[in-house]
Amino acid sequence: MTITRLTALAHDEPLLHALATRLLAVAEAGLPAMYRAGADTFVFTRTAKAAPDGSWSLEQRGTSTRYAAITALGARFLPEDRQRAVLGGHTAEDFTGLLIERLPAVTNLGDAALIAWAAAETEHPKLSDALARVAALDEDGGPRYTVEAAWVLSALAAARGAVDVEDRFSSARDRLLRARIGDGPLFPHATGPGLVPWYRAHVSCFADQTYPLQALARAHASGGDPEALAASEACAARICALQGDGGQWWWHYDARTGGVVEGYPVYSVHQHAMAPTALFDLAEAGGTDFGASIRSGLRWMADVPELAAAPESMILDEPGVTWRKVYRGDPKKAVRAARGIGTRVAPGLRLGPLDRLFRPASLDRECRPYEFGWMLFAWLGGRI
């Protein structure tokens, strides 16, 4: 029997395996309700309102090409009948084809890169068309947001066995490696100046770490690249060293110093999906096994210390959601703003009274489809 990430967890920690299995069932239950059949795409989010009887009523809002592509990336690991149940009657390959057809109207590099990545992973015959759109959107050579630059590299790494992308692959790989500030292990929010205001150019988020470390690990796995693997490893080691005592993956970092700027919000998708998939990819590429950190982060989903005074589950089996985040509830994200500006002039500045004034006990009751797409990717993907 092939041992997957999920089945390996059953051997290591049965209780966490039960939690991950439950979360995957929630994902498969929730995704069909996030599908807009008339448009053949996914909503941007589902938001909750409390009913008088204590139940939750969920409303669909917007649509998202990006989230649709991420869902395809995860759903492809399901058996075909379950792919169709999640993707409005389509297989992952067919649904990716719909996204490729819409690429001429896609103007965001990250969206196009995710579609190309899905095309590579599903072995879609129009992969070259998808890659051409990525190249067209990325041709000026200017700075890019780090997350989008990482998705470009992941797409090209996935495509290497099917299409000649070596020149573009090398450029995308070098762009990510050069983006780091000095010898620091963490990645900034953008690969170069001009996209982020000067006063917060040092602040990067958790996604700015996980997607590059994943992309560089996949770059190494696709053809052997010790420098890329080392950069991935260094980033992973740092975010794992900073992980909270309750398993929290923190949100904002100082890319210069490798420290935490502001920990909250803590997002459920980081705990159950984004951190696991990036760290699993690193281990499977030959890097360090950060399994203990993965398990600690997953455990937070069932034991949220921030909500201890007023316990509420992050997971609702019915109607199939995981609540989006735990946050401070500070007006206009005041704590993040104050710490971002403060650490610009005084690295490591904490402004401790803010922790007492704005405690992280608020819950964001919404759920987005990409959270479940990455969850499927994290736990059903890979082979150990």
Closest CA to 378 of 26, 93, 74: 74
CA dist., res. 334 & res. 338, Å (int): 6
**Do 51 and 87 have their domain in common?**
yes
**Do 3 and 100 have their domain in common?**
yes
Give me the pLDDT at residue 384, please.
Answer: 45
**Do 94 and 182 have their domain in common?**
no
Residue 248 domain-assigned (yes or no): yes
> Range of 194's domain?
164-300+325-346
Residue 156 domain-assigned (yes or no): no
- Cis peptide, bond prior to residue 319, ω within 30 of zero: yes
- Is 264 exposed, middle or buried, given 0-12, 13-18 or 19+ CB atoms closer than 10 A? buried
| Ramachandran region, residue 73 (left: φ > 0; alpha: ψ -120 to 50; beta: rest) | alpha
SS3 state of residue 308:
coil
Number of separate domains in the chain: 2
**Do 127 and 228 have their domain in common?**
no
pLDDT tens digits, the chain, 384 residues: what are they?
567 899 889 988 999 999 999 999 999 999 999 999 999 999 999 999 888 887 889 999 999 999 999 999 999 999 999 999 999 999 999 999 999 999 999 999 999 999 999 999 999 999 999 999 999 999 987 899 999 999 999 999 999 999 999 999 999 999 999 999 998 999 999 999 999 998 889 999 999 999 999 999 999 999 999 999 999 999 999 999 999 999 999 999 999 999 999 999 999 999 999 999 999 999 999 999 999 999 999 999 999 999 998 889 999 998 899 999 999 877 767 666 777 677 776 787 666 777 777 777 899 999 999 999 999 999 999 754
Rg (CA), the chain: 20
Distances (CA, A) of 57 to 51, 63, 277: 6, 19, 31
Residue 358 domain-assigned (yes or no): no
243 and 295 Cβ atoms separated by less than 8 Å: no
**Do 193 and 216 have their domain in common?**
yes
CA dist., res. 374 & res. 20, Å (int): 13
Give me the pLDDT at residue 350, please.
Answer: 67
Residue 147 domain-assigned (yes or no): no
CA dist., res. 129 & res. 125, Å (int): 9
CA dist., res. 187 & res. 210, Å (int): 9
**Do 59 and 124 have their domain in common?**
yes
Write the CB contacts of 54 (distance below 8 Å, at least 6 apart in sequence).
none
Q: Identify each DSSP E strand in 38-116 by its residue range.
A: 41-42, 45-50, 56-61
102 and 58 Cβ atoms separated by less than 8 Å: no
Give me the pLDDT at residue 52, please.
Answer: 83
Helices (H), 204-271: 207-223, 226-242, 268-269
**Do 181 and 65 have their domain in common?**
no
CA dist., res. 288 & res. 317, Å (int): 34
75 and 377 Cβ atoms separated by less than 8 Å: no
**Do 180 and 233 have their domain in common?**
yes
Give me the pLDDT at residue 361, please.
Answer: 81
Give me the pLDDT at residue 125, please.
Answer: 98
Give me the pLDDT at residue 162, please.
Answer: 96
Residue 76 domain-assigned (yes or no): yes
Q: Which residue has the tokens 């007006």?
A: 331
**Do 234 and 330 have their domain in common?**
yes
**Do 52 and 192 have their domain in common?**
no
